[in-house]
Amino acid sequence: MDCNETRRLLEADADGELDLVRHLEIEAHLRTCPDCTRLAENLRARRAALRTSLPRFTAPPQLAEKIRAALRAETPSPATPARSPRAKIIFPVWRIAGLTASIAVALVAGYSWGGARARSDLLLDEAISDHVRSLLVSHLTDVTSTDQHTVKPWFAGKLDFSPTVVDLAAEGFPLAGGRLEHLDGRPAAALVFHRRQHAINVFIWPAASSAVSPRRAERDGYHTESWKQSDLNFLAVSEIPASELARFAELFRTGTDLRPRSE
């Protein structure tokens, strides 16, 4: 089984839709292909995050009481004359329709917010996974250099955008290099900086499809800072203290003109 077929079947395999033979073929391929393994791990991480991050909504007591009251109103008492068949049909329909509309509006609003939040959480989890993987496999950089004028041109022809590279060595965050990554469903640039013995990964990709929201978060000891500037998304990940990462992000934002350039 090659990479193209494996990647096409990863979703179905995660859902348990494949037969045992095809599942074993995928597992065998993953044991020999780091790229497909990374995609499979990201898929599992996203699914786990969805299960834990998507909001669950409970009807408020007032809504439940309205439903019970509507049902009681439609149940005739022994002393109440029976209504015509037409009345029995029409009144429950419009009352239930109104309640249904109220529930639908609440669910749409809730899931719109919850969906955006879940996507943001998935993005952070994916970035942290890439950060940790780069440390574990000792693959922080594809191009190793402290010179921004060496790192930036290296990305030319490898990405469909030009990532901005800054020099923050004077502020205590020396550049170490860069590498290609895959984030948010598309190729991305990863710039690597150092802070004492720790690494900082800064993921950069175009904001055209979906811009990230400014956000500061923490996951299992790893801190993140995300922001959008010009036409690019930025997401910094490191295990350094949150205050130091926030300072780094501010220096990155203000240290240079971040408009994408072709040089």
Same domain, 182 and 93: no
Is 116 inside any structural domain? yes
Same domain, 11 and 102: no
Is-above-0.75 flag for pTM? no
Cβ within 8 Å of residue 170, ≥6 positions away? none
Is 147 inside any structural domain? yes
Number of domains the chain contains: 3
Range of the domain at 73: 61-121
Rounded to 5 degrees, what angle do the CA atoms 98, 99, 103 make?
Answer: 120
Same domain, 47 and 65: no
Same domain, 95 and 147: no
pLDDT of residue 245: 97
Domain boundary among 17, 37, 53: 53
User: What secondary structure, in 3-state letters, does 145-202 show?
Assistant: CCCHHHHHHHCECCECCCCCCCCEHHHCECEEEEEEEEECCEEEEEEEEEECCEEEEE
Chain centre distance of CA 207: 14
**Which residues lie across from 225 on neighbouring strands?**
216, 236
Same domain, 228 and 145: yes
Q: Chain-wide mean pLDDT for the chain?
A: 80
Same domain, 223 and 184: yes
Is 135 inside any structural domain? no
Same domain, 235 and 159: yes
Q: The CATH number of the domain where 167 resides is what?
A: 3.30.200.100
pLDDT of residue 6: 85
Please return the burial class of 248, using the count of CB atoms within 10 Å of its CB with bins 0-12, 13-18 and 19+.
buried
Same domain, 181 and 217: yes
pLDDT of residue 252: 96
Q: Are 142 and 179 in contact (CB under 8 A)?
A: yes
Task: Give tens-digit pLDDT for 119-164.
Answer: 778 888 889 989 998 888 778 999 999 999 999 999 999 999 999 9
The residue with greater pLDDT, 52 or 133, is 133
Helices in the chain by DSSP H: which ranges? Answer: 3-14, 20-30, 34-53, 61-73, 85-136, 148-154, 242-254
**Which residues lie across from 204 on neighbouring strands?**
189, 234
pLDDT of residue 203: 97
Same domain, 179 and 241: yes
Task: Give tens-digit pLDDT for 98-119.
Answer: 656 665 565 554 444 444 557 7
Question: What b-and-e string marks burial along 95-118, b requiring 16 or more CB atoms within 10 Å of the CB?
Answer: beeeeeeeeeeeeeeeeeebeeeb
Confidence of residue 76 (pLDDT cuts 50, 70, 90): low
φ/ψ of residue 79, rounded to 5? -85, -5
Q: Are 164 and 232 in contact (CB under 8 A)?
A: yes
Same domain, 9 and 78: no
Is 130 inside any structural domain? no
Task: Give tens-digit pLDDT for 215-261.
Answer: 899 988 899 999 999 899 999 999 999 999 999 999 999 875 444 44
Residue 89 pLDDT > 70, yes or no? no
pLDDT of residue 91: 47
Same domain, 193 and 150: yes
Is 168 inside any structural domain? yes
Token pair 């240290």 is found at: 255
% pLDDT > 70, the chain = 73
pLDDT of residue 112: 46
Same domain, 35 and 66: no
